[in-house]
């Protein structure tokens, strides 16, 4: 229990240690720490994208390139850093891996060939 946080503490009963290890109790409400971090981080990143510039406007260029780089940082680099450094997991555990790339490459080339004349 952390008294400085007003009753916020990690639960860790002997029989339920594996399932409550990642839970925190705030004012009687049990929250999964990882899910709470995901919800808060995604909400904050969406708000940052909508209302603030993360990168200086002259750092990358202007227009679409600046927005693309900024959104890559907001929606790929920061969440990947949260998974790797915050959750101590591999990105592959969350579905970001190569997988079956040959069918995907065929679909991409076929789509580009079909849509390029349009």
List the beta bridge partners of residue 23: 32
pLDDT at 112: 95
Tens of pLDDT, residue by residue over 13-72, are: 444 444 446 888 889 889 888 888 888 999 999 998 888 777 666 666 666 677 888 888
pLDDT in tens, 59-105: 666 666 778 888 888 899 999 999 899 888 898 888 888 888 899 89
DSSP one-letter code for 12? -
**Residue with more model confidence, 76 or 10:** 76
The pLDDT score that the predictor gives to residue 41 is 92
Q: 64-93: buried (b, 16+ CB within 10 Å) or exposed (e) per residue? A: eebeebbeebbeeebbeebbeeeeeeeeee
What whole-number distance in Å separates Cα of residue 111 and Cα of residue 100? 17
Q: What is the pLDDT of residue 18?
A: 47
Cα–Cα dist 45/73, whole Å: 10
The predicted structure's pLDDT at residue 59: 63
pLDDT band, very low/low/confident/very high, at 118 (cuts 50, 70, 90): confident
Which pLDDT band holds residue 7 (cuts at 50, 70, 90)?
A: very low
From the number of C-beta atoms within 10 Å of its C-beta (0-12, 13-18, 19+), residue 54 rates as middle
């Amino acid at each position: 229990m952390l008294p400085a946080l007003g009753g916020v503490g990690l639960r860790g009963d002997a029989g339920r240690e594996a399932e409550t290890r990642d839970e925190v109790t705030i004012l009687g409400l049990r929250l999964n720490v990882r899910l709470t971090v995901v919800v808060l981080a995604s909400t904050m990143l969406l708000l940052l994208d909508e209302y603030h510039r993360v990168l200086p406007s002259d750092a990358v260029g202007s227009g679409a390139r600046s927005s693309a780089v900024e959104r890559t940082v907001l929606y790929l680099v920061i969440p990947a850093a949260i998974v790797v450094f915050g959750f101590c997991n591999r990105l592959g555990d969350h579905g970001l891996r190569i997988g079956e790339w040959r069918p995907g490459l065929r679909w991409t080339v076929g789509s580009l060939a079909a849509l390029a004349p349009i």
